[in-house]
Amino acid sequence: MDDLDGAVLAARGLRYEYDGGACALDGLDLTVRAGLRHALVGANGAGKTTLFLHLNGTLRPRSGTVFVDGRPGDYTRAGLSAWRQVVGLVFQNPDDQLFAGSVAQDVSFGPFNLGLSTGETRARVTAALEALEISHLGERPTHMLSFGQKKRVSIAGAVAMRPRVLIIDEPLSGLDPRGADQFLGVLRDLHASGTTVVIATHDMALAYEWADRVSIVKEGRILASGAPDDVMTDAAMLEDCGLRRPWVLDLDAALRTAGLLPEGRGPLRSRDEVIAAVAALRRGSAAAVESRR
Ligand SMILES: Nc1ncnc2c1ncn2[C@@H]1O[C@H](COP(=O)(O)OP(=O)(O)OP(=O)(O)O)[C@@H](O)[C@H]1O
Ligand SMILES: [Mg+2]
């Protein structure tokens, strides 16, 4: 077996087809290293959700192996329970995650079933609801919430479990801009506290700015994995996968072509870096005008 050192999760040669369906995973290999922020990008139907369902043991591959901390996944009842304490999964659609009951009941279900004391469970639920700014919804039935509110509840439920690896399928879909910012703040805190975070997203700019490592999924396989600058710059390859280069890199290329970015400056990564670079340009041209006087 190849090197699984430092891999909290790994998939080797995963194959899966749904009953009566086409091949969803076609010999997929993936390594998730502990403590990293890892983003999966890929077109609709590429296999991201199917892969995630394998990474917490919900689906079992027809062939191939999922490794948790270097050991093959254990699909017994006790094994799956232990697996899900290590790996938390937030579903793409919150309706697949939430069950009837109030928001507070839903979020407390996982921690309570870990065997935590009532006090510890309550503390975790309170903290998770606060982090997602949904404390005021605690007593509401989950089916009487908007889509984005449900999404926040499902994320809070996973956060309250404090898994070592948190996998989130399409985290920002359905969140309003403020919800998205809060959520990114939650991810920052989780990462700072040592949680490995894996997301699937169609937001290329988010993957580029946020991730330490990006994997490109195409037709049930990983086409490329690496640092964002290594795998997200090839516009033709991304196009071929039904993806697009992050807008910030298109802007970076246009500014360089126009000679407006200093030689040797690394690529622009984020909206804030673009704003700072444009402000520096203005300062630079003001200084040039001044020196010509
Ligand atoms: N429940 C299902 N039954 C049958 N086929 C399915 C099922 N779920 C997914 N598939 C098929 O498996 C393949 C992979 O789907 P998957 O949902 O993993 O893709 P995805 O990358 O998550 O796509 P998206 O970006 O749309 O969420 C697709 O061809 C899809 O049609
Ligand atoms: Mg999906």
Confidence tier at 288 by pLDDT (50, 70, 90)? low
Q: Does ligand 1 have an atom closer than 6 angstroms to the CB of 96?
A: no
Q: Taking ligand 2, which is a single-atom ion, which protein residues have CB atoms under 5 Å away?
A: 48-49, 92
Q: Which of 122-131, 247-256, 258-267 has the lowest mean pLDDT?
A: 258-267
DSSP lists the bridge partners of residue 66 as 11
Q: Where are the strands (E) in the chain, listed by range?
A: 7-17, 23-33, 37-42, 63-68, 71-72, 87-90, 165-169, 196-200, 213-218, 221-226
Q: Does ligand 1 have an atom closer than 6 angstroms to the CB of 218?
A: no
Q: Nearest C-alpha to atom 1 of ligand 1 is from which residue? A: 18
Distance CA 53, CA 236 (A): 30
Contact by Cβ (8 Å): 106, 157:
yes
Which ligand gives the minimal distance to the CA of 50? 1
Q: Does ligand 1 have an atom closer than 6 angstroms to the CB of 215?
A: no
Which ligand gives the minimal distance to the CA of 47? 1
Residue 291 has pLDDT above 90, yes or no: no
- Of 15, 16, 18, the one to substitute when testing ligand 1's pocket (max ligand atoms within 8 A of C-beta) is 18
Residue 48 CA to ligand 2 centre (angstroms): 5
- Index of the ligand 1 atom closest to the CA of residue 20: 4
pLDDT tens per residue, range 43-90 = 999 999 999 999 999 999 999 999 999 999 999 999 999 999 999 999
Matching residue, tokens 């839903």? 106
Q: What is the pLDDT of residue 289?
A: 67
Distance CA 271, CA 77 (A): 46
Q: Does ligand 1 have an atom closer than 6 angstroms to the CB of 50?
A: yes
Q: What is the pLDDT of residue 6?
A: 85
Instruction: State pTM to two decimals.
Output: 0.93
Q: Does ligand 1 have an atom closer than 6 angstroms to the CB of 48?
A: yes
Q: Does ligand 1 have an atom closer than 6 angstroms to the CB of 42?
A: yes
Q: Which DSSP symbol is given to 260? A: -
Higher pLDDT, 113 or 219: 219
Residue 21 CA to ligand 1 centre (angstroms): 9
Q: Does ligand 1 have an atom closer than 6 angstroms to the CB of 149?
A: no
Q: What is the pLDDT of residue 223?
A: 96
pLDDT tens per residue, range 159-200 = 999 999 999 999 988 889 988 888 899 899 999 999 999 999
Residue 1 has pLDDT above 70, yes or no: no
The closest of 140, 134, 185, 184 to 156, measured between CA atoms, is 134
Which ligand gives the minimal distance to the CA of 202? 1
Q: Which domains does the chain have, with CATH numbers?
A: 7-245 (3.40.50.300), 246-293 (no CATH)
Q: Does ligand 1 have an atom closer than 6 angstroms to the CB of 49?
A: yes
Q: Which two tokens stand for residue 238?
A: 């991304």
